[in-house]
Amino acid sequence: MLVLAASGGKYVAAAYAVFLALILVYVAIMATKLARIERELDDLSREDR
């Protein structure tokens, strides 16, 4: 049943890397959105001055 039991470590590493990558990509997208909000806020406060 276990086809690749001997080299199982690389599969475990791949699964956890996928999990980590997903979180990192999500956080990066959120960081971009927050940076855009900050830029817009700067524009608004400059307009207000």
C-alpha to C-alpha distances, 21 to 2, 5, 34, 42, nearest whole angstrom: 27, 24, 20, 31
Place of tokens 């590493």: 13
Provide the minimum distance between the beta carbon of 39 and another protein in the complex, in angstroms, as a whole number: 7
Interface positions, 2-31, toward another protein (CB under 8 A): 2-5, 8-9, 11-12, 14-16, 18-19, 22-23, 26, 30
Provide the minimum distance between the beta carbon of 36 and another protein in the complex, in angstroms, as a whole number: 7
Contact 22, 29 (CB under 8 A): no
CA angle 16, 13, 2 (to 5 degrees): 110
Binding residues (CB under 8 A) for another protein: these are 1-5, 8-9, 11-12, 14-16, 18-19, 22-23, 26, 30, 33-34, 36-37, 39-41, 43-44, 46-49
